[in-house]
Amino acid sequence: MNSLPLWLLVLIFVAGAAVIWVAGIQLSKTTDVLDKRLHLGSALGGLIVLAVATNLPEIAITVSAALSGNIEIATGNILGGIAIQTVVLAILDLFGRRGKGVRPLTYRAASLTLVLEAVVVVAVLSVVVAGSQLPSGLVFARITPDVVAIAALWIVGLALVQRSGSHLPWHEDGSAPDSSPHPRGHRRHTPDKKMSVTKAAIVFAISAVATLVAGVVLERAGDAASSQIGLSGVLFGATFLALATSLPEISTGLQAVKQGDDNLAMSDIFGGNAFLPVLFLVATIISGRSVLSHANPSDIYLTSLAILLTLIYIVGLIFRPSRRILGMGVDSLAVVVVYAVGILGLVSIANG
């Protein structure tokens, strides 16, 4: 695509983003049906089914970048994607449900399971930081200890989240946020009864494939466009590309919030953010190189930023602020401000 004119590359990039947006809405609707019919539960459905599906663009970009040896784009997209997808929660808070008397997103999605999911994100990202300090020679059978630890920690996190659905001791306390059989943020609507499990699975699969193909198109067109305008791979991967590949989370999140399932919306974000670092295992196997040991300062900076943003929402989920400022909760506003300041710091690192 490098030979194509810039205007055509931008048009292709926008078209790919549009496909991801439309497919994301269908992913949300069909996940809702599958959750209900297969009894997955909104938290587990968001953590596994929807989170993995909406991260198909990142999967496509990681595989494509690893095959071409462009690890910088893959690393920047994964770590930058985690930070910007956390900001998606602020977008959902602002635009998801409006009107007088509407409480912030973290107030409505009162769930200790979501806190646990966010803790898993922080734990996985901590291993990413630790892995970046390991020597590059620790490669055996095309894998490294850090990426194996990340994958193992993600699997343990899945097991803990599934167990938390019915085994949290906080359920015994009537004042605990999860004690109600129908807590705030719980699904308050009935999925499409006309859609069978088979039809939902087919629509889900088609939407997933469309998202995957569009993700490859985004990576190729975006990489070519960034080269023509002189934008560094790290800055492009962490901003424009990360935002474009976060469109499934935005579309599915808005759809979930409008359907009354705030838990699914937040679980999709936290589940996806916990899953994204697992892609370092894929990149390591494909490239045969130690990916995290080659992480540059901007990658570690983005990881730290993502941890900080996640911690803000953990506090929000625990204290559940009821006040809205500028149309969003106090925690969401803090996330937007911290992210904006963080990107200014990233620009200075990229230009330094």
Per-residue pLDDT at 186: 40
DSSP state, residue 109:
S
* Average pLDDT, integer, range 263-280: 88
Q: In this structure, is residue 23 part of a structural domain?
A: yes
Q: Taking 80 as the threshold, does the pLDDT of residue 56 lie above it?
A: no
Are the beta carbons of 128 and 294 closer than 8 angstroms?
A: no
CATH number at residue 149: 1.20.1420.30
Segment of 72-76, 159-163, 190-194, 239-243 carrying the highest mean pLDDT: 159-163
pTM of the model: 0.82
Lowest mean pLDDT among 153-157, 209-213, 231-235, 254-258: 231-235
Query: Vertex 328, ends 326 and 329: CA angle to 5°?
Result: 120
* Average pLDDT, integer, range 197-213: 85
Question: Buried (b) or exposed (e) across 108-138, using 16+ Cβ within 10 A?
Answer: bbbbbbbbbbbbbbbbbbebbbebbeeeeee
Domain encompassing residue 298: 6-351
Q: Which tokens hold the place of 14?
A: 């926008």
Tell me the pLDDT tens digit for each residue of 285-304.
988 888 888 788 888 998 99
Biggest CA–CA distance in the chain, Å, is 64
Q: In this structure, is residue 155 part of a structural domain?
A: yes
Q: In this structure, is residue 317 part of a structural domain?
A: yes
Q: Taking 70 as the threshold, does the pLDDT of residue 175 lie above it?
A: no
Segment of 28-37, 234-243, 272-281 carrying the highest mean pLDDT: 272-281
Q: In this structure, is residue 152 part of a structural domain?
A: yes
Per-residue pLDDT at 87: 92
Give the count of domains, the chain: 1
Which residue has better confidence, 219 or 188? 219
Contacts of 336 (CB under 8 A, 6+ apart): 87, 90, 328
Q: In this structure, is residue 1 part of a structural domain?
A: no
Of the pLDDT bands very low, low, confident and very high (cuts 50, 70, 90), residue 182 is: very low
Of the pLDDT bands very low, low, confident and very high (cuts 50, 70, 90), residue 44 is: low
Q: In this structure, is residue 196 part of a structural domain?
A: yes
* Average pLDDT, integer, range 333-343: 93
Lowest mean pLDDT among 27-31, 138-142, 308-312: 27-31
Which of 91, 108, 48 shows the shortest CA–CA distance to 326? 91
Q: Which helix (H) or strand (E) holds 91?
A: helix 71-95
Which residue has better confidence, 74 or 154? 154
Per-residue pLDDT at 173: 46
Q: Taking 60 as the threshold, does the pLDDT of residue 179 lie above it?
A: no
Alpha-carbon span 279 to 274, nearest angstrom: 10
% of the chain surpassing 70 pLDDT: 82
* Average pLDDT, integer, range 64-89: 81
* Average pLDDT, integer, range 222-233: 71
Of the pLDDT bands very low, low, confident and very high (cuts 50, 70, 90), residue 315 is: very high
Q: In this structure, is residue 81 part of a structural domain?
A: yes
Q: In this structure, is residue 153 part of a structural domain?
A: yes
Q: Taking 80 as the threshold, does the pLDDT of residue 177 lie above it?
A: no
